[in-house]
A and B are shown apart, each in its own frame.
Chain A
């Protein structure tokens, strides 16, 4: 089966050690995590993990089942890029002198839709949001033209294009179940 990039979305309770529980599932199968982003979700008390891995459909299916099985995981699922709106953010630190000496600053800013976050006599911090390849292209261009002092890129954040909201649907079902129990 051919490998490609899959985005895994995990919703969990906000308990200590869950990230470890998730990452060991990848470690056990010797899968590299390409990007990882963790934050509180829209629902209070529920955390969201967005993880990208390069693998086959077969492996990602099994890995997601193993993650979903952990006690404090509410829901885990995966998508391919075409099913998602996704974004990463990158910051670039450049020597001010070199950036100014470079002739086509305005063109570069327009072309890459760059924002300037900080500027002082020593350095400038540029910010670009986009897909991996877009932030990478800018990094390569800047490296070549003016040199990059520091570069950092976030993990991916993603939203599904489908109408189904798996977590909210699941939480509704859970509520029904909980009421049945009482």
Chain B
């Protein structure tokens, strides 16, 4: 007798996603995932599936979606090449702690290990770059695996999860019961906050004369932007942000001292090596932030607030670790520290800020002659959105210029590939960000190189009418590599010059409006045209061919030895 309570595994899969609150999927169908796509056909009203033009685009879009919304991004692709095309996005999500569930089709279980058509060992390949990778071989495991996947992706330090579902499990009939996962005994996502640790950190902060805070993405992921502000205001501690920590503090917050690291601001980098207590909040002392570790903040006591115990002491020795979510640890710390102000110390940042302004910022953002600079484009667009837009970047000079000169007024406004540095991130991540935050303006800054790595996603933008504002800062070079060639490789421009297509003509072919700007006088009108409505738009700005991102801490140099000009 047929059991009427049974449904197909593929339908159980979609129902499980709906139980997890999934309403958006970025995907691309293919043989081994066809039953799931077939089931999806019946859930039109409940799940919005966006067909990308390449699986890499599907994962980056899911990342962009997750980063702005705080929800888990979902990609759905087929086996073999469909799965391998997601690897870059999965790796990117792992190193940047982005909650992602990537679902890959797989050949039927009896064919596993036989080199069947479009078979590849997805779990084996993705194990090193996922929080969890699991192969579903039977329909009975679907609900359990989906529940566990979302719980793991979203909790603790978020990250990507891969579910590899064999085709036979998609076809099998199964009774469907869904129970969300709330506990895994081998996994403690939110460690209890130790009051002893908090007390020790508070003691160090209270005795500090020159305390300095470093803000990372952990604050954003915990949704602790307000708690951070309260903590900084009570203690009067100046703070600076990592690339991914951008937008955790408003740009004009009076204790925000700017951007850290290789192309960050002068003052926070120099002050890192002058402070007496360094308070790292949800950041991981990446080499792009620290420069030479042997000459990094040696004079300071280090307090490290992080949710991941493996980050404590990974790169630098920590004097006072505080384990836990910033949402819990920051209020605990705020309650325990004395109210203070450090006006003189805060004021001492100003001389460096002024120096950087005179030597770098003014000529980059407000040039009066010569070719258009990248910085002026970024600042003009930021201001034209009242500094309220979501910033998405590609990787390279465009990314550093955008991070330096875009202004933030609210959280979750910075979507960039930090750890992996993935060129080609800019277009698909912006699509996902716009879908995740439809009411916000999403501006994606790209170079002419990275734009062409995922240019096919213009097709997705056309089909779905995703109102992203794409900007190409076109210098006809792979600019960041060119900059290094100029500075460190005797100006030997080995394969960095690019002959580019007519980007506007390409956009037109995809029925996307656009303008190309050659002269400074044309820029304001073009930006106004781009922002006049909520439709997709491509703005190509021909900028100076040999523009440089300064200041710079050369690789391996001391963080306080910044180069201001060539």
Q: Which residue of A lies closest to B312 (CB)?
A: A65
Question: Cα distance A62–B152 when bound, in Å?
Answer: 22
Q: B interface, how many residues as a size bin?
A: 20 to 34
Given contacts A178-B183, A178-B185, whether A66 and B127 have CB atoms under 8 Å apart is: no
Given contacts A24-B127, A69-B310, A71-B131, whether A12 and B186 have CB atoms under 8 Å apart is: yes
Kindly state whether residue B20 has any CB partner on chain A within 8 Å.
Answer: no
Question: Cα distance A20–B127 when bound, in Å?
Answer: 8
Q: How far is the CB of A45 from chain B (nearest CB, A)?
A: 11
B152 contacts which of A13, A16, A71, A74 (Cβ < 8 Å)?
A: A71
Determine if B310 and A65 form an interchain contact, defined as CB atoms under 8 angstroms apart.
Answer: yes
Question: Cα distance A74–B132 when bound, in Å?
Answer: 15
Q: Which residues of A contact B455 (CB under 8 A)?
A: none
Kindly state whether residue A181 has any CB partner on chain B within 8 Å.
Answer: yes
Determine if B152 and A24 form an interchain contact, defined as CB atoms under 8 angstroms apart.
Answer: no
Kindly state whether residue B367 has any CB partner on chain A within 8 Å.
Answer: no
Determine if A24 and B186 form an interchain contact, defined as CB atoms under 8 angstroms apart.
Answer: no
Q: Which residues of B contact A178 (CB under 8 A)?
A: 183, 185
What per-residue 1/0 map shows which CB atoms of B296-333 lie under 8 Å from chain A? 00000000000011100110000000000000000000
Kindly state whether residue B347 has any CB partner on chain A within 8 Å.
Answer: no
Determine if B184 and A69 form an interchain contact, defined as CB atoms under 8 angstroms apart.
Answer: no
Determine if A62 and B310 form an interchain contact, defined as CB atoms under 8 angstroms apart.
Answer: yes
Q: Which residues of A contact B308 (CB under 8 A)?
A: 69
Question: Cα distance A24–B132 when bound, in Å?
Answer: 14
Kindly state whether residue B438 has any CB partner on chain A within 8 Å.
Answer: no
Q: How far is the CB of B325 from chain A (nearest CB, A)?
A: 16
Determine if B186 and A71 form an interchain contact, defined as CB atoms under 8 angstroms apart.
Answer: yes
Q: Which residues of B contact A152 (CB under 8 A)?
A: none
Kindly state whether residue A174 has any CB partner on chain B within 8 Å.
Answer: yes
Given contacts A177-B183, A181-B183, whether A62 and B127 have CB atoms under 8 Å apart is: no
Determine if B128 and A65 form an interchain contact, defined as CB atoms under 8 angstroms apart.
Answer: no
Kindly state whether residue B124 has any CB partner on chain A within 8 Å.
Answer: yes
Determine if A66 and B310 form an interchain contact, defined as CB atoms under 8 angstroms apart.
Answer: yes
Q: Which residues of A contact B40 (CB under 8 A)?
A: none
Q: Which residue of A lies closest to B308 (CB)?
A: A69
Kindly state whether residue B187 has any CB partner on chain A within 8 Å.
Answer: yes
Most-contacted residue by chain A among B183, B184, B185 (CB, 10 A):
B185
Kindly state whether residue B4 has any CB partner on chain A within 8 Å.
Answer: no
Kindly state whether residue B182 has any CB partner on chain A within 8 Å.
Answer: yes
Q: Which residues of B contact A17 (CB under 8 A)?
A: 123-124, 127, 133
Question: Cα distance A98–B469 when bound, in Å?
Answer: 84
Q: Which residues of B contact A136 (CB under 8 A)?
A: none
Q: Which residue of B lies closest to A171 (CB)?
A: B185
Kindly state whether residue A21 has any CB partner on chain B within 8 Å.
Answer: yes
Question: Cα distance A6–B128 when bound, in Å?
Answer: 23
Kindly state whether residue A73 has any CB partner on chain B within 8 Å.
Answer: yes
Question: Cα distance A72–B314 when bound, in Å?
Answer: 22
The secondary structure that dominates the B interface is mixed
Given contacts A61-B313, A181-B182, whether A71 and B187 have CB atoms under 8 Å apart is: yes
Determine if A69 and B182 form an interchain contact, defined as CB atoms under 8 angstroms apart.
Answer: no
The secondary structure that dominates the A interface is helix
Q: How far is the CB of A77 from chain B (nearest CB, A)?
A: 13
Determine if A13 and B128 form an interchain contact, defined as CB atoms under 8 angstroms apart.
Answer: no
Question: Cα distance A177–B182 when bound, in Å?
Answer: 11
Question: Cα distance A93–B545 when bound, in Å?
Answer: 73
Question: Cα distance A73–B185 when bound, in Å?
Answer: 9
Determine if B124 and A20 form an interchain contact, defined as CB atoms under 8 angstroms apart.
Answer: yes
Question: Cα distance A137–B202 when bound, in Å?
Answer: 56
Question: Cα distance A62–B311 when bound, in Å?
Answer: 9
Which residues between 1 and 54 of chain A lie within 8 Å of chain B, taking CB atoms?
A: 12-13, 16-17, 20-21, 24, 28
B185 contacts which of A24, A65, A68, A174 (Cβ < 8 Å)?
A: A174
Q: How far is the CB of A76 from chain B (nearest CB, A)?
A: 11
Determine if A62 and B314 form an interchain contact, defined as CB atoms under 8 angstroms apart.
Answer: yes
Q: Which residues of B contact A61 (CB under 8 A)?
A: 313
Question: Cα distance A81–B424 when bound, in Å?
Answer: 50
Q: Which residue of B lies closest to A180 (CB)?
A: B183
Q: Which residues of B contact A21 (CB under 8 A)?
A: 127
Q: Which residues of B contact A66 (CB under 8 A)?
A: 310
Question: Cα distance A86–B475 when bound, in Å?
Answer: 64
Q: How far is the CB of A1 from chain B (nearest CB, A)?
A: 13
Q: Which residues of B contact A69 (CB under 8 A)?
A: 308-310
Determine if A65 and B186 form an interchain contact, defined as CB atoms under 8 angstroms apart.
Answer: no
Q: Which residues of B contact A68 (CB under 8 A)?
A: 309-310
Q: How far is the CB of B93 from chain A (nearest CB, A)?
A: 16
Q: How far is the CB of B533 from chain A (nearest CB, A)?
A: 46
Determine if B128 and A28 form an interchain contact, defined as CB atoms under 8 angstroms apart.
Answer: yes
Determine if B123 and A71 form an interchain contact, defined as CB atoms under 8 angstroms apart.
Answer: no
What per-residue 1/0 map shows which CB atoms of B187-204 lie under 8 Å from chain A? 110000000000000000
Determine if A71 and B184 form an interchain contact, defined as CB atoms under 8 angstroms apart.
Answer: yes
Determine if A13 and B310 form an interchain contact, defined as CB atoms under 8 angstroms apart.
Answer: no
Given contacts A17-B127, A28-B128, whether A74 and B310 have CB atoms under 8 Å apart is: no
Q: Which residue of A lies closest to B148 (CB)?
A: A71
Q: How far is the CB of B86 from chain A (nearest CB, A)?
A: 19
Q: Which residue of A lies closest to B123 (CB)?
A: A17
Question: Cα distance A156–B132 when bound, in Å?
Answer: 29
Most-contacted residue by chain A among B128, B182, B309 (CB, 10 A):
B128
Question: Cα distance A10–B276 when bound, in Å?
Answer: 39
Q: How far is the CB of B72 from chain A (nearest CB, A)?
A: 16
Determine if A71 and B132 form an interchain contact, defined as CB atoms under 8 angstroms apart.
Answer: yes
Determine if A72 and B186 form an interchain contact, defined as CB atoms under 8 angstroms apart.
Answer: yes
Question: Cα distance A24–B127 when bound, in Å?
Answer: 9
Q: How far is the CB of A105 from chain B (nearest CB, A)?
A: 49
Most-contacted residue by chain B among A21, A171, A181 (CB, 10 A):
A21
Question: Cα distance A14–B6 when bound, in Å?
Answer: 30
Question: Cα distance A33–B152 when bound, in Å?
Answer: 29
Question: Cα distance A15–B185 when bound, in Å?
Answer: 14
Q: Which residues of A contact B310 (CB under 8 A)?
A: 62, 65-66, 68-69
Q: How far is the CB of B361 from chain A (nearest CB, A)?
A: 39
Q: How far is the CB of B153 from chain A (nearest CB, A)?
A: 11
Most-contacted residue by chain B among A13, A28, A72, A171 (CB, 10 A):
A72
Q: Which residue of A lies closest to B185 (CB)?
A: A174
Q: Which residue of B lies closest to A73 (CB)?
A: B186
Could you show 19 A-B contacts with beta carbons less than 8 Å apart?
A: A16-B135, A17-B123, A17-B124, A17-B133, A20-B127, A24-B128, A62-B310, A62-B314, A66-B310, A68-B309, A69-B308, A69-B309, A69-B310, A71-B152, A71-B187, A73-B186, A74-B185, A177-B188, A178-B183
- Contacts A61-B313, A65-B314, A177-B183 aside, 11 further interface pairs with beta carbons under 8 A come to A13-B186, A17-B133, A21-B127, A24-B128, A62-B310, A66-B310, A68-B309, A71-B131, A71-B187, A178-B183, A181-B182
Question: Which 6 residue pairs spanning A and B have beta carbons closest together?
Answer: A65-B310, A74-B186, A174-B185, A69-B310, A71-B132, A24-B128
